[in-house]
Amino acid sequence: MYRMKTINSVIPLLCCLCMLSCHSRQNGVQQEKTDSFDTIYVSYHKGVYETSVRTPCSFVKKWSENEDISEVVFIDKRDYDAIYSYLTENANKGNDSTTCEARIYVRAAENEICIDDVIVCACDVNEKDIPANDYALYLIRSLSGYYNYLDSLDLQFDRLIEEFGLPSCYQNKNIKDANWDDDAFYDEFIKVALVRGK
Protein backbone atom coordinates (compact mmCIF):
# COMPACT_ATOMS: atom_id res chain seq x y z
CA MET A 1 0.00 0.00 0.00
CA TYR A 2 2.81 2.39 0.96
CA ARG A 3 4.67 1.52 -2.27
CA MET A 4 1.54 2.30 -4.35
CA LYS A 5 1.19 5.73 -2.69
CA THR A 6 4.85 6.48 -3.38
CA ILE A 7 4.52 5.50 -7.04
CA ASN A 8 1.34 7.56 -7.40
CA SER A 9 3.08 10.61 -5.95
CA VAL A 10 6.18 10.19 -8.14
CA ILE A 11 4.30 9.80 -11.45
CA PRO A 12 3.01 13.41 -11.58
CA LEU A 13 6.52 14.66 -10.73
CA LEU A 14 8.05 12.60 -13.56
CA CYS A 15 5.41 13.86 -16.01
CA CYS A 16 6.20 17.47 -15.08
CA LEU A 17 9.95 16.92 -15.50
CA CYS A 18 9.42 15.25 -18.86
CA MET A 19 7.25 18.11 -20.12
CA LEU A 20 9.77 20.71 -18.94
CA SER A 21 12.71 18.96 -20.60
CA CYS A 22 10.83 18.66 -23.92
CA HIS A 23 9.90 22.33 -23.81
CA SER A 24 13.51 23.37 -23.07
CA ARG A 25 14.87 21.20 -25.84
CA GLN A 26 12.43 22.67 -28.34
CA ASN A 27 13.31 26.24 -27.36
CA GLY A 28 17.02 25.37 -27.36
CA VAL A 29 16.81 23.91 -30.87
CA GLN A 30 14.84 26.90 -32.10
CA GLN A 31 17.37 29.38 -30.68
CA GLU A 32 20.28 27.34 -32.01
CA LYS A 33 18.63 27.16 -35.43
CA THR A 34 17.98 30.90 -35.61
CA ASP A 35 21.63 31.57 -34.74
CA SER A 36 23.00 29.27 -37.42
CA PHE A 37 24.09 29.97 -40.99
CA ASP A 38 20.89 28.28 -42.18
CA THR A 39 18.79 31.33 -41.31
CA ILE A 40 17.73 34.35 -43.34
CA TYR A 41 16.40 37.32 -41.35
CA VAL A 42 13.70 39.49 -42.90
CA SER A 43 12.63 42.70 -41.14
CA TYR A 44 9.91 45.10 -42.23
CA HIS A 45 7.27 47.55 -41.10
CA LYS A 46 3.78 46.04 -41.25
CA GLY A 47 1.62 47.64 -43.92
CA VAL A 48 2.33 50.58 -46.17
CA TYR A 49 3.72 53.87 -44.95
CA GLU A 50 4.53 57.11 -46.73
CA THR A 51 7.57 59.32 -46.26
CA SER A 52 8.52 62.70 -47.70
CA VAL A 53 12.16 61.62 -48.10
CA ARG A 54 13.70 58.35 -49.27
CA THR A 55 14.30 55.84 -46.46
CA PRO A 56 17.91 54.59 -46.57
CA CYS A 57 18.74 50.92 -46.15
CA SER A 58 20.94 51.76 -43.14
CA PHE A 59 17.85 53.12 -41.36
CA VAL A 60 15.85 49.90 -41.83
CA LYS A 61 18.95 47.87 -40.89
CA LYS A 62 19.20 49.78 -37.59
CA TRP A 63 15.54 49.00 -36.86
CA SER A 64 16.25 45.34 -37.49
CA GLU A 65 19.29 45.23 -35.21
CA ASN A 66 17.19 46.54 -32.32
CA GLU A 67 14.33 44.10 -32.91
CA ASP A 68 13.88 40.63 -31.41
CA ILE A 69 12.79 37.77 -33.63
CA SER A 70 8.99 37.86 -33.84
CA GLU A 71 8.50 34.61 -35.71
CA VAL A 72 10.47 31.58 -36.91
CA VAL A 73 9.37 30.03 -40.21
CA PHE A 74 10.86 26.78 -41.53
CA ILE A 75 10.99 26.95 -45.32
CA ASP A 76 11.70 24.51 -48.14
CA LYS A 77 15.44 24.17 -48.79
CA ARG A 78 14.99 25.04 -52.49
CA ASP A 79 13.30 28.32 -51.54
CA TYR A 80 16.02 29.00 -48.98
CA ASP A 81 18.76 28.27 -51.53
CA ALA A 82 17.12 30.54 -54.14
CA ILE A 83 17.01 33.47 -51.69
CA TYR A 84 20.49 32.80 -50.28
CA SER A 85 21.99 32.55 -53.77
CA TYR A 86 20.43 35.89 -54.74
CA LEU A 87 21.83 37.53 -51.60
CA THR A 88 25.37 36.20 -52.04
CA GLU A 89 25.46 37.18 -55.72
CA ASN A 90 24.34 40.76 -55.10
CA ALA A 91 25.13 41.95 -51.56
CA ASN A 92 27.59 44.88 -51.60
CA LYS A 93 27.83 44.75 -55.40
CA GLY A 94 25.44 47.55 -56.37
CA ASN A 95 25.99 50.19 -59.02
CA ASP A 96 26.10 53.95 -58.42
CA SER A 97 22.40 54.78 -58.77
CA THR A 98 20.24 55.06 -55.66
CA THR A 99 16.62 54.93 -56.73
CA CYS A 100 15.29 52.18 -54.48
CA GLU A 101 13.21 52.98 -51.40
CA ALA A 102 14.22 50.68 -48.50
CA ARG A 103 11.26 49.04 -46.75
CA ILE A 104 12.42 45.46 -46.10
CA TYR A 105 15.84 44.53 -44.71
CA VAL A 106 17.18 41.04 -45.49
CA ARG A 107 20.29 39.44 -44.00
CA ALA A 108 21.92 36.02 -44.23
CA ALA A 109 25.35 35.79 -42.57
CA GLU A 110 27.30 38.83 -43.86
CA ASN A 111 25.06 39.27 -46.92
CA GLU A 112 22.46 42.03 -46.57
CA ILE A 113 20.14 43.95 -48.89
CA CYS A 114 17.00 46.10 -48.77
CA ILE A 115 13.84 45.84 -50.87
CA ASP A 116 11.19 48.47 -51.54
CA ASP A 117 7.43 48.02 -51.13
CA VAL A 118 5.95 49.13 -54.44
CA ILE A 119 7.98 48.82 -57.65
CA VAL A 120 10.05 45.88 -56.35
CA CYS A 121 13.61 47.04 -56.58
CA ALA A 122 16.54 46.21 -54.33
CA CYS A 123 19.68 47.88 -53.05
CA ASP A 124 22.70 46.94 -50.98
CA VAL A 125 23.44 48.47 -47.58
CA ASN A 126 25.58 51.12 -49.28
CA GLU A 127 22.39 52.44 -50.93
CA LYS A 128 23.40 51.23 -54.40
CA ASP A 129 20.86 49.51 -56.63
CA ILE A 130 21.28 45.80 -57.36
CA PRO A 131 19.54 43.67 -59.99
CA ALA A 132 16.05 42.52 -59.01
CA ASN A 133 15.49 38.77 -59.23
CA ASP A 134 11.69 38.71 -59.25
CA TYR A 135 11.33 35.17 -57.98
CA ALA A 136 13.78 35.59 -55.08
CA LEU A 137 12.13 38.87 -54.06
CA TYR A 138 8.70 37.21 -54.24
CA LEU A 139 9.90 34.38 -51.99
CA ILE A 140 11.30 36.87 -49.45
CA ARG A 141 8.08 38.86 -49.36
CA SER A 142 5.70 35.89 -49.29
CA LEU A 143 7.55 33.54 -46.91
CA SER A 144 8.26 36.30 -44.38
CA GLY A 145 4.54 37.15 -44.21
CA TYR A 146 5.05 40.64 -45.65
CA TYR A 147 1.99 40.28 -47.92
CA ASN A 148 -0.21 39.43 -44.94
CA TYR A 149 -0.16 43.08 -43.87
CA LEU A 150 -1.22 44.58 -47.21
CA ASP A 151 -4.81 45.27 -48.17
CA SER A 152 -6.45 43.84 -51.28
CA LEU A 153 -5.83 47.00 -53.33
CA ASP A 154 -2.08 46.87 -52.65
CA LEU A 155 -2.02 43.16 -53.49
CA GLN A 156 -3.97 43.75 -56.69
CA PHE A 157 -1.26 46.06 -58.05
CA ASP A 158 1.75 44.14 -56.79
CA ARG A 159 3.84 43.17 -59.82
CA LEU A 160 5.18 39.99 -58.21
CA ILE A 161 1.75 38.69 -57.21
CA GLU A 162 0.61 39.42 -60.74
CA GLU A 163 3.47 37.26 -62.00
CA PHE A 164 3.55 34.45 -59.42
CA GLY A 165 0.10 34.58 -57.79
CA LEU A 166 -1.14 35.08 -54.24
CA PRO A 167 1.03 33.02 -51.85
CA SER A 168 -0.61 29.84 -50.54
CA CYS A 169 0.46 30.88 -47.02
CA TYR A 170 -1.32 34.26 -47.29
CA GLN A 171 -3.43 35.35 -44.27
CA ASN A 172 -5.20 38.69 -44.22
CA LYS A 173 -3.81 40.53 -41.18
CA ASN A 174 -4.46 43.92 -42.73
CA ILE A 175 -3.61 46.91 -40.57
CA LYS A 176 -4.26 50.57 -41.22
CA ASP A 177 -1.70 52.59 -43.16
CA ALA A 178 0.83 54.21 -40.85
CA ASN A 179 2.68 57.48 -40.90
CA TRP A 180 5.69 58.77 -39.02
CA ASP A 181 3.53 60.79 -36.61
CA ASP A 182 1.68 57.80 -35.16
CA ASP A 183 2.88 56.87 -31.67
CA ALA A 184 2.49 53.19 -32.52
CA PHE A 185 4.54 53.45 -35.74
CA TYR A 186 7.60 51.67 -34.34
CA ASP A 187 5.50 48.98 -32.67
CA GLU A 188 4.50 47.73 -36.10
CA PHE A 189 8.01 46.53 -37.03
CA ILE A 190 8.57 42.77 -37.32
CA LYS A 191 11.60 40.50 -37.68
CA VAL A 192 11.13 37.02 -39.13
CA ALA A 193 13.72 34.21 -39.19
CA LEU A 194 13.43 32.01 -42.28
CA VAL A 195 15.13 28.71 -41.38
CA ARG A 196 16.24 26.24 -44.04
CA GLY A 197 14.34 22.97 -43.81
CA LYS A 198 15.86 19.55 -44.41
Domain-wise residue ranges, the chain: 1-35, 40-196
Which pLDDT score is estimated for 182? 52
For the chain, 198 residues long, give each residue's pLDDT as a single digit of tens.
444 444 444 444 433 333 333 222 233 334 434 445 699 999 998 877 777 777 889 989 998 998 999 999 999 999 999 999 999 999 878 777 777 888 899 999 999 999 987 778 899 888 888 999 999 999 999 999 999 988 877 788 889 999 999 998 888 886 655 454 555 555 678 999 999 987
Which pLDDT score is estimated for 177? 52
Buried b (16+ CB within 10 A) or exposed e, 1-39: eeeeeeeeeeeeeeeeeeeeeeeeeeeeeeeeeeeeebb
pLDDT tens column, 107-146: 999 999 999 877 788 998 888 889 999 999 999 999 999 9
